Amino acid sequence: MISKLNNKELDQKIKSLARAENRLLALVIEHIKEADRRKLYLDFNYPNLYDYLVKECGYPGGSAQRRIDAARLLAIEPKLKAKIESGEINLSQTTLLQKAFREKSQTVTLEQKRSLIAKISDMTVNESQVLISKELNLEIRQQTKVTHQKDESIRLEFTLTKEQWESLQKAKDLASNATQTNDLGVLIKYLSDKFIKQKEGPTATVAVKKQVLQRDQCCQYKDHKTQRLCGSRWNLHIDHIKPKWVGGTDDIDNLRVLCQKHNYERYREQAGIKMVSSKIDDKIIGGRLIQADCTHT
Ligand SMILES: [Zn+2]
């Protein structure tokens, strides 16, 4: 019974299982290498090894690809098997290597490949990445890439300086008790929420928000020219008519429902006003502009 083990026994058991897992992994890689050489997947009517591993052997896509990457490295460096068995090299590292080799397929030699496998032994994944990028002179990507995906999630690809990265890592460590994960998306949301709360103060209570929703039912934004009500019932938010930063309260009379689009539009409008007004006299200019804005609503 696992629950009967004392801490020392449990620690030893986990370590011995981890070693067994590495040995088994090395064996799996060795067999996949042979399957690749024989094109075993053709016997099962699959066009490639990846499809065979996913559909016939039940590996999730990422796991299948990592095993293929390792198997193809093993084909050019037999010493890799022992390194996987001993845990000196893991599948994250072999995948890094294969990715880099693919990028540099025109120039990288067999000798270079073998030498890199030796060099990254016992390194962390991050250390391996830096070393591989330096040795193969991989391109440094600066351009930010934003991809909107079909489930409305957003995929970001961007470059941080070493300093920015370290700062983010420190924040991650400090927030780890609250976030309970290494997921950067969760961390960014957590930090953003904290910052917004700090800037805007506590938000209206759930009960008040419910009342506002019941009263307004839909987006209360009126077009400045036509005075037509937006009326959207999609993605509703609670908006402060007089913003909190000029002393607006969480009073039900100061709240209204806006759709996401108009909430965001108003937020940007306010941010703009705030930027201009803070240069002159925050309260007076800000107050006047907001009053003028209120007449539209
Ligand atoms: Zn609206």
Residue 262 maps to a domain: yes
- Same domain, yes or no: 96 and 46: yes
- Same domain, yes or no: 166 and 127: no
Please give the distance, rounded to the nearest whole angstrom, from the Cα atom of residue 232 to the centre of ligand 1.
5
Sequence-ordered strand ranges (E) for 96-235: 145-148, 154-157
- Same domain, yes or no: 27 and 111: yes
Using alpha carbons, select from 274, 235, 289, 287 the residue that is nearest to residue 257: 235
Please give the distance, rounded to the nearest whole angstrom, from the Cα atom of residue 233 to the centre of ligand 1.
8
- Same domain, yes or no: 226 and 187: no
Which residues neighbour 46 within 8 Å (Cβ) at sequence distance 6 or greater?
52, 55, 56
- Same domain, yes or no: 131 and 41: yes
Q: Locate 186 and state its tokens.
A: 């969760």
Which residues neighbour 49 within 8 Å (Cβ) at sequence distance 6 or greater?
32, 35, 36, 40, 41, 68
Residue 194 maps to a domain: yes
Domain span at residue 225? Answer: 206-294
Q: Of 200, 220, 254, which marks where a domain is finished? A: 200
Please give the distance, rounded to the nearest whole angstrom, from the Cα atom of residue 220 to the centre of ligand 1.
7
Mean pLDDT of all residues belonging to the chain: 87
Please give the distance, rounded to the nearest whole angstrom, from the Cα atom of residue 66 to the centre of ligand 1.
47
Q: Locate 185 and state its tokens.
A: 């998306």
Has residue 289 got a pLDDT over 60?
Answer: no
Residue type for position 188? I
- Same domain, yes or no: 52 and 111: yes
Has residue 292 got a pLDDT over 70?
Answer: no
- Same domain, yes or no: 26 and 129: yes
Give the mean pLDDT of 135-161: 90
Has residue 34 got a pLDDT over 60?
Answer: yes
Helix, strand or coil for residue 46? coil
- Is residue 247 left, alpha or beta, with left meaning phi > 0 and alpha meaning psi from -120 to 50? left
**How many domains would you assign to the chain?**
3
pLDDT digits (tens, 9 = 90+) for 83-142: 999 999 999 999 999 999 999 988 999 999 999 999 999 999 999 999 999 999 998 888
Has residue 290 got a pLDDT over 60?
Answer: no
- Taking the model in full, what pTM does it have? 0.59
- Same domain, yes or no: 54 and 131: yes
Please give the distance, rounded to the nearest whole angstrom, from the Cα atom of residue 193 to the centre of ligand 1.
23
Q: Of 149, 171, 200, which marks where a domain is finished? A: 200
- Same domain, yes or no: 76 and 54: yes
pLDDT band at 196 (very low <50, low <70, confident <90, very high): confident
- Same domain, yes or no: 93 and 113: yes
pLDDT digits (tens, 9 = 90+) for 232-254: 998 888 898 888 878 888 888 99
- Same domain, yes or no: 233 and 170: no
Please give the distance, rounded to the nearest whole angstrom, from the Cα atom of residue 260 to the centre of ligand 1.
7
